[in-house]
């Protein structure tokens, strides 16, 4: 409960993203939360202590990135001996970009890597001192298809023939319970489909289907068993075919449809494909970057897990191959690209980077919206959706009060 004596901040001269619309209104914040001003005005007979003039801009929830492998030279899977340093610097850098919460992502790795790093990737609140909030890890693999491994090391991949025992050996069930938001796995891999209900019941994590050659029938079974998302739609999966559209076919299901991550960098997915997906299932779209350690750094050779990757002119490939290995785009740019690719409204684009990711994780009451009681993670944007100001837990983040390092 808010302390009635603590300062109240008013955001005014703005259009607030609320209830699927941009509304000319004010927003009020106290103790790091969005508050209902009626109590302030009528019960306490107070006026705001601080007023923030938004200069006619758009006030949006902070962006949420469900899939990011690294940034600023750090990699969550590779920098195991400096993982706290990596989390700290990436969190602060992302905050200044307008990404106020995220899921640090690990690529397919050996069990010892998970047992070493997952405890450092668990949920932690965002703040000026800590940077963007961490929502829990996203583990991508290693229970994925060798046929659709993408930029994952083949030697790390495994099956789940022993069900929960294999997941426990690989990740540690306690790690999943305490530190992990969701796991990407291929439902056709031995043992995975049967284990999904047990894994959810035992740990409470979310499951996403990805890096998979699954047929539509198998993908449907996984979704009915509890898998609620598709990882980076169109990439590393069974190609669409009119008689068996694979995992992509879930977007045309008559019953409930999953959320899906989609990378709007213009490289991973053609703009026309983005439009097809969005018009098939607009409420499920979650913009993700799938960014790797070279985000915000010059072209060169970097690490993605244990693999060397080349970065050149916005493209990222495993060294000496044509295999895409993540991106270097920011989520703010993905939002702007989404409008270019689809002609969607600003509201639709913003909700794909705020509300929908929060709904996928089941945290929409506190993240991804500006409803009363939600965390005051706030962006002030101009009409072209460029980030003008960033607030975390109600406090403005600037290059003066948020300092971080790059590993070059």
Q: Please give the C-alpha separations between residue 105 and each of 15, 301, 389, in angstroms, as whole numbers.
A: 33, 20, 26
Q: Residue 46 burial by CB count (10 A; 0-12/13-18/19+): exposed, middle or buried?
A: middle
Q: Which tokens go with 111? A: 């069990």
**What share of residues in the chain are helix, strand, coil (percent, to 5)?**
30, 30, 40
* Cβ(214)–Cβ(186) below 8 Å: yes
Cis amide linkage into residue 142, ω under 30° from 0: yes
Q: Cβ neighbours of residue 174 under 8 Å, at least 6 residues apart?
A: none
Helix (H) or strand (E) holding 386: none
Point out the catalytic residue in the list 290, 299, 308, 383: 290
Q: CA 339, 103, 336: angle at the middle one, nearest 5? A: 10
Q: Which tokens go with 358? A: 């929060």
* Cα-Cα end-to-end distance for the chain: 44
Other CB atoms within 10 Å distance of the CB of residue 64 = 29
Q: Please give the C-alpha separations between residue 11 and each of 2, 29, 173, 380, in angstroms, as whole numbers.
A: 18, 8, 43, 9
Q: Residue 276 burial by CB count (10 A; 0-12/13-18/19+): exposed, middle or buried?
A: middle
DSSP-derived 3-state class of residue 9: strand
Q: How far apart are CA 259 and CA 262, in angstroms?
A: 10
Size (the chain), residues = 408
Q: How far apart are CA 160 and CA 49, in angstroms?
A: 57
Q: Which tokens go with 235? A: 């990439």
- Is position 290 annotated as part of the catalytic site? yes
Cα–Cα nearest to 210, from 67, 362, 354, 361: 67
Residues 126, 140, 258, 316, CA torsion sign: positive
Q: Which residue has the tokens 């290995």?
A: 325
Q: CA 27, 31, 32: angle at the middle one, nearest 5? A: 65
Report, as residue numbers or ranges, the catalytic residues: 290
């Amino acid at each position: 409960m808010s302390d009635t004596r603590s300062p109240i901040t008013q955001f005014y001269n703005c259009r607030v993203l609320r209830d699927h619309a941009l509304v000319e209104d004010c927003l009020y914040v106290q103790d790091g939360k969005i508050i209902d001003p009626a109590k302030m005005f009528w019960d306490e007979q107070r006026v705001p202590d601080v007023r923030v003039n938004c200069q006619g801009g758009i006030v949006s929830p902070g962006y949420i990135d469900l899939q990011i492998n690294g940034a600023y030279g750090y990699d969550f899977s590779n920098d195991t001996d400096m993982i706290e340093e990596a989390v700290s610097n990436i969190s602060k850098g992302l905050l200044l970009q307008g990404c106020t919460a995220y899921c640090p992502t690990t690529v397919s790795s050996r069990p010892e890597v998970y047992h070493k790093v997952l405890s450092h990737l668990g949920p932690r609140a965002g703040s000026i001192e800590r940077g963007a909030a961490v929502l829990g890890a996203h583990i991508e693999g290693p229970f994925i298809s060798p046929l659709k491994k993408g930029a994952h090391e083949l030697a790390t991949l495994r099956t789940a023939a022993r069900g929960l025992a294999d997941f426990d050996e690989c990740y540690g069930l306690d790690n999943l319970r305490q530190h992990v938001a969701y796991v990407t796995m291929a439902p056709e891999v031995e043992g995975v489909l049967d284990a999904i209900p047990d894994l959810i019941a035992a740990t409470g994590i979310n499951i996403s289907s990805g890096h998979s050659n699954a047929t539509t029938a198998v993908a449907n079974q996984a979704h009915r068993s509890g898998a609620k998302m598709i990882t980076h739609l169109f990439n590393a999966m069974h190609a669409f075919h009119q008689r068996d559209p694979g995992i992509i076919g879930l977007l045309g299901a008559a019953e409930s449809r999953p959320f899906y991550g989609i990378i709007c960098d213009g490289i991973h997915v053609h703009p026309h494909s983005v439009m097809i997906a969005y018009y098939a299932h607009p409420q499920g779209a979650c913009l993700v970057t799938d960014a790797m350690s070279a985000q915000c750094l010059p072209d060169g050779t970097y690490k993605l897990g244990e693999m060397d990757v080349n970065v050149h002119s916005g493209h990222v490939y495993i060294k000496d191959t044509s295999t895409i290995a993540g991106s270097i785009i920011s989520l703010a740019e993905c939002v702007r690209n989404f409008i270019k690719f689809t002609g969607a409204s600003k509201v639709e684009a913003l909700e794909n980077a705020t509300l929908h990711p929060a709904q996928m994780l089941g945290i929409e009451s506190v993240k991804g919206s500006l409803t009363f009681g939600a965390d005051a993670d706030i962006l002030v944007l101009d009409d072209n959706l460029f980030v003008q100001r960033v607030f975390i837990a109600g406090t403005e983040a600037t290059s003066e009060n948020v300092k971080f390092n790059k590993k070059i």
